[in-house]
Structure 1
Amino acid sequence: MTASGSRAAADPAGTGLPIAGGRETARELWRLSRGHRLRLAAVALLGIAGTGIDLIPPVAIGVLVDRVRAGTAGSGTVLLVGALMAVSAVLGTACIAATVVLAARAYHTVLAALREQLVDRAMTLPRHLVERAGTGDLISRSSDDVTAVADAAPTVIPALSVSTFSIVVSLVGLAALEWPYAVALAVVLPVYAFVMRWYLRTGPRVYRAERTAMSARAQQILESQRGYATVLGFGLGTTRHRAVMAFSWAVAVRSLRARTVQSMLNARLNLGECLSLAAVLVVGFVLIDRDMSTVGAATTAVLMVLRLLGPVNQLLFVVDTLQSALASLSRMIGVVTVPVTDPGTVSTRPGVPAAVRLRGVEFRYGGGPPVLADIDLDIPAGGQLAVVGRSGAGKTTLAAVIAGTLRPDSGTVHRPLRTAVITQEVHVFAGTLRDNLTLAAPDATDRDIRVALETTGAAALLALPDGLDTVVGAGGHSLTDAQAQLLALARLQLADSDLAILDEATAEAGSAHADQLDRSAAAVLAGRTGIVIAHRLSQAAACDRILVLDRGRVVEQGSHAELVGAGGVYAGLWQAWVAGQQVAAEGAPTS
C-alpha cells in the first residue's frame, strides 16, 4: 500500500483537520440519538399539543368580537372566553415547558456523548494529521467549537422544538378559518424563502472562516506559550506579540463580518413581517367588505398571523446561531469520524520477516526540496539501527516517517502496530510519578513500575519525597532534564512496544548523566526492535547496524567496525567524535 492518499473531507484551507459534510454530520447525529428517540418522539407530540392549545385564545377572541358586534355577548361569554384563555395559557405553557426540557435533555446528552468521543478520538488521531494541521486546530475544536455548540442551546432548542410546531399548526389553523387568509400569507412566504436562500449561501461560509481564524489564533497563542523559553532567550516577545495580534485582528474582522450578516438577516426578517401583516389585513378588508368574512374571523386571522410571525422570525433568526453551531459541530464530527486506522502506513503483518520495511520512500515539506529521497530500509525483528549524519541530513524526518508522525509523499512504510517514540523534548505531565509512568500501561502495578525503574537505572526516582505518589510536573516537584529522560525511558519499558524509536532521547549531552542515559537506553532496547537517532556516536557504535544519511539519502550502512574500516563519511564522523572526547577528557578538572 502506498503512503499517499488522504481523507476526502478536509477544511477549506486543505491543511487542517477534516471537516464533516452535511450528510456525515446528520448520520453521526442520528447514530448518537440512539436511546433518546422515544424522548424525541415525546418532544414532537408535546410540541404539537402545546402549539395547538395556543391557538385557542385567537379563536376565542374572534368569537367574542362577533358576539359583541351581534349584541349577544354577556358577562357569561366574557367569563367563558377568559376562562378558556387562562386554561389554554396554563396548559400550553406546561406543554411547551415540557417540550423544551425534554429537548434540552436530549440535546445535552447527545452533546456530552459527542464531546467524550471527541476527546477519546483526539488521543488516537493519526499523528501526521495533527502535525500537519497544528495542535491549535485540535484545541480550538475541543474548546471553542464545543463552547459554541453548548452556548447555542438556549436559543436553538426553543426555536427548533417549539417554533417549528407553531408554524405548522398555525398554518393549518389559518387555512381552516378562511382559505383566502392562508393564500395571502402563502404569497408572502417566498420572501422568507429568498431570505433563507441568501443566508444559507452566505452564513456557513462566513462562520467557517470565523472558526478557521479562531483555530489559527489558538495555534499562535499555543506556540508562544510552548516556546516561552525560546521567546525570552532570543528576545522575540515583541515579534510573537505582533503575530498573535495579527491573528487576533483576523478573528475580529471575521467576527465583524459574521455580525454584519446577522444584522442583514434581521432587516430582511422585518421586511417579511411587514408584508405578511399587510397582506392579511388587505385580504381581511376585502372579505369583510364583500360579506365573505366577519370582523371576528379577521381578528382571529390577524392574531394567528401575529402569533405565527414570532415563531417564524425566531426560527429564521436562530438560523444565524444554528449555522454557527453547525459549523462547529461539523468540525467536531470531522475529528470524531477520522478513520481509526492510519491509511498512510501499513502495520507489519504475520509472515513478513522485517519488523520495519521502507521501499522508495520520499518526503518533502510543502513544496520544498526532498528531505528524504529513495529510502529503502529493512530492520529485522529485534534488530537495532542507529541513524547518524550531519545536522539537516534528514535523521529526525526519517524517524517521524517510520513512526507515522509524517506521511511520506511516495513509497511504502511497514512498521509494527505497537510503536513508541521518545524525543529529546520529554514532557512531564502534571500528576503523580505513578500517573506519569503508567500513561502507556494503565494496568501496571507498583511492582511493575519498580522493575521498570530498576531496569532503566531510574530507581533513584523512588527516592523523591513521596515516592510514586510525588506530584511532578506543573505545580509539583520539578524534575531535572536527566530525570525527565529517565522517566520517559521507564515509561517506554512499561509500554513494552514492539518498536522503540529514540530520537535523540538521551541527548542530555555533555552532562555527567550521559553514560547513565546511554545505559538506560540500551536496557530499554534490549530484546526489541529499536531505531536510535544518535546524538552521541557512542550510542551508534552499540547498535547492530548504522545508517548514514546525507541530504536525505542513504550514503553508507553497515556495522560500526565495517564503516570505520571503510574510511568513508562515518569514519570521519567517528574520528571527530573520538578527538572531541579526548579534548573534553583532557580539559576536565582533576580531583
Structure 2
Amino acid sequence: MNQDDGMPAGSAAGPGFPVADAATIRREVGRLARPHLPTLLTVLVLGVLSTATTLVTPVVIGALVDAVRTGTATPAGVAWTAAAMIVSTAAGSAGIGATIMLAGRCYHAVLAGLREQLVGRGISLPQSVTERAGTGDLVSRSSDDVGEIVDAAPQIVPAVTTAAFTIVVTVAGLSVLDWRYGVALLVTLPVYVWTMRWYLRTAPAVYRAERAAMSGRAQQIVESQRGFATVLGFGLAETRHRRMQDASWTVSGHTLRTRTVQNMFGSRLTGAEFLGLAAILLVGFHLIGAGLSTVGAATTAMLMFLRLFGPVYGFLLALDQMQSVFASLGRMIGVSTVPDPPPAPAGRAGPGTAVRVERVGFRYGPDGPPVLDGVDLTVATGERVAVVGPSGAGKTTLAGLVAGIHDPGSGTVARPARTVLITQETHVFAGSLRENLTLAAADATDDEVVAALGTIGATGLVGQLPEGLDTEVGARGTALTPAQAQQVALARVVLADPDLAILDEATAEAGSTHSEQLDRAADAALRGRTGLVVAHRLSQARACDRIVVMDRGRVAEIGTHDELVAAGGRYARLWESWSAGRPAPAR
C-alpha cells in the first residue's frame, strides 16, 4: 500500500487471522491423509511385524538365564542365542527403519498439502482482509509455523511410530508371559495418564501464547522493513528498536515458560518409570517365590519393560513437540477458515462505459478516518483518464477500489471483468525472464513475448541479458534495474490484453533518467484499451483524455488538460509548479 493514502503497508487493523479448533484440524488433516491410506496401512502392518521381531532378544536371554540356572546351558545354545539376537535385531531395525520412512513420507505429503492450501488461500484473500489481520501474521504462519512443523518431523515421526508399536506389542508380550506381569505394567498407567492430562491441559495454551508472541515479533519486523523510509524520515529508529526489543523479550518470556513446562513433564515421566520397575520386580519376586515363574521369565519381563523406556520417553517428549506442531497446524489451517467478505454492491457500467464509480466512500478499518467520501467517476470504453492530486488525496485507494483490491464501504463500483493493476512496487519473481513475462499469459509463445516487449519499446532488454529470455532474474539471478522491472510489468499488460489497465504511478520508481522512455512505454501499453492512470508526473496526465483532480478524498476538478489549466484552479497551480520545476505551493 502506498503511503499516499495514509496507511502503511503491512499494518494490522485487526487481531490477526483465526486459529482453527481441534475438530477442524483433525478434519483437514484427515482429508489430506485420505489419499495416502494404502501407505498408512503398510506402515501399520510393517510396524507391528518389525516390533514383534525385536521381542526375540528378551525371550532368548530369559531362556538362557534359566538354562544357566539349571546347568543345561551349552556353547551351542549360547551361540544360537547370540545368532537369534543378531538376526532379530537386524530384521527389526530394518523393518522399523522402513516403517519410519513410509510414515515420514505421509507426514511430509500432508504437510505439503497444508502448505499449498495456506499459500493459495493467502494469495486469494482480499488485500483489505490481509491488512486488517496483519501481513506479519500471515508471514509468520507461512514461515515460522511451517518451519516448526518441518523441523519437528525428525523427532515426531520416529518417536510416534516406534513408540506406538512398541507399547502395543510389549504389553501383549508381557501378558502372554504371565498376565500378572501385564497387570504390573498397568500400575504405571495412572501416572502416565495423569502426566499426559496435566501436560495437555497446560501446554497448548503455553505454546499458543509463544506462537502468538512470535507472530507479533514478525509483525514488528515487517512493519519496520516496509516502512523503512518513514522510520528514517521521522527519526523513529529508537522507537521501532524499543518495540522490537519489547516484542523479543515477550517471546523470550513465553519460551522460558515452555521450557519450564517441559522440565516438569520430564520429572513426572521419571517417576512413572521408577514405579513400573518396582512393580515388575515385586511381581517377579512373588511369582518366583510361589513357583509360578522362573528367574528367566522375570528377566524377560524386566527386559521387555526396559525396552519401553526409550520409546515411551521419546513418545511423551514428542508429545511435547506435537503440542507446538498442533498449535502451528491450527494457525496454518486457520487462514483457510477465513470467510470471504460479503460481495460489495455491484454497479452497472452501462453501454459504452468501462468504469462507473457512484457515491463511493471508504476507510481503512471501522474506526479509521474517511479516505474517500462520495466519489463519482465515469470512464468511457477506450478512454484514458488520469488521477492527480496531493499526497493523501486518495488516489491510490481509488485505483485499488476500481481494480477490486478493496470493496467500497459505501456506494458501488463497476468495472470490466478483465482488469489489471500495475503499481510502482513492481516485483520481479525468482525465475527466468520468460516466466516473469508470461505470468499473465501462460500460453504466450516466445514470439509473442518478444512482440510485447517491442510494443513498449523494450526489445533490447532481451539482448542486454546474458541468456536472453532464459536468464534467471530476481533474488537468485540477475538483478533488473527499476526501469527494466517496470518494462517487464508493462509488457505483462500487453500480454494479458485486459479491457481495463490501471497504472498506479507505475513508472515513478525509475526516476527522471528513464521517465520519458517509460512514459512512452506506458502509452504504448495502454493504446487501444481503457486506462486509469494515477499520475506521478503531470506530463503523463497531460497525455490522457481527461484528468481527475482529487483532494482530501473527493473529486475536486475534472476535465481535459487545457480546460483545467484555463480554469485556473487546483490543477492549474499544480501544472504551473510542475512546469517550473519547483514544489507545489503550500495549501
Q: Into which bin does the TM-score normalised by the smaller protein fall?
A: 0.7 to 0.9
> What SS does the aligned partner of 1:152 have?
helix
Please tell me the residue identity of whatever aligns with 1:371.
Answer: V
Shift of 1:163: 0.8
Unpaired stretches in structure 1, ≥5 consecutive residues? 1-11, 586-591
Partner of 1:312: 312
Q: Which of 572, 576, 585 is the aligned partner of 1:575? A: 572
Contact 2:170–2:304 (8 Å) recurs in 1? yes
Please tell me the residue identity of whatever aligns with 1:163.
Answer: A
Distance 1:98 1:514 in 2: 62
Please tell me the residue identity of whatever aligns with 1:524.
Answer: A
Q: 1:287 to 1:370 in 2, by over 3 A?
A: farther
> 1:360-509, aligned counterparts within 5 Å?
361-365=361-365, 367-373=367-373, 379=379, 381-409=381-409, 415-429=415-429, 434-459=434-459, 461=461, 464=464, 468-469=468-469, 481-507=482-508
Unpaired stretches in structure 2, ≥5 consecutive residues? 1-11, 583-587
Q: Does 239-248 or 263-272 show the bigger shift?
A: 239-248
Partner of 1:127: 127
Contact 2:387–2:550 (8 Å) recurs in 1? yes
Shift of 1:274: 1.7
Q: 1:86 to 1:446 in 2, by over 3 A?
A: closer
Contact 1:508–1:514 (8 Å) recurs in 2? no
| 1:492-519 Cα shifts (integer Å, max 9, x gaps) | 2222233322222234699475555444
Please tell me the residue identity of whatever aligns with 1:523.
Answer: A
> What SS does the aligned partner of 2:174 have?
helix
| 1:333-377 Cα shifts (integer Å, max 9, x gaps) | 445x468x9545569899986655566543233633232345566
Please tell me the residue identity of whatever aligns with 2:575.
Answer: V
Distance 1:51 1:512 in 2: 72
Q: 1:490 to 1:205 in 2, by over 3 A?
A: same
Question: Over the residues paired in the alignment, what is the CA RMSD in angstroms?
Answer: 4.2
Q: 1:176 to 1:442 in 2, by over 3 A?
A: same
Partner of 2:210: 210
Contact 1:345–1:404 (8 Å) recurs in 2? no
Contact 1:62–1:299 (8 Å) recurs in 2? yes
| 1:399-432 Cα shifts (integer Å, max 9, x gaps) | 2334344455566655444432222333445666
Partner of 1:106: 106
Distance 1:277 1:410 in 2: 72
> What SS does the aligned partner of 2:439 have?
coil
Contact 2:136–2:222 (8 Å) recurs in 1? yes
Q: 1:192 to 1:375 in 2, by over 3 A?
A: farther
Distance 1:376 1:307 in 2: 77
Q: 1:443 to 1:231 in 2, by over 3 A?
A: farther
> 1:256-267, aligned counterparts within 5 Å?
256-267=256-267
Shift of 1:477: 7.0
Q: 1:404 to 1:293 in 2, by over 3 A?
A: farther
Distance 1:255 1:423 in 2: 41
Partner of 2:193: 193
Q: 1:287 to 1:114 in 2, by over 3 A?
A: same
Distance 1:430 1:316 in 2: 42
Using the size of structure 1 for normalisation, the TM-score is: 0.80
Contact 1:58–1:300 (8 Å) recurs in 2? yes
Q: 1:479 to 1:230 in 2, by over 3 A?
A: farther
Shift of 1:244: 3.9
Shift of 1:167: 1.0
Distance 2:403 2:260 in 1: 47
Contact 1:362–1:375 (8 Å) recurs in 2? no
Distance 1:293 1:526 in 2: 96
Distance 2:516 2:403 in 1: 26
> What SS does the aligned partner of 2:498 have?
coil
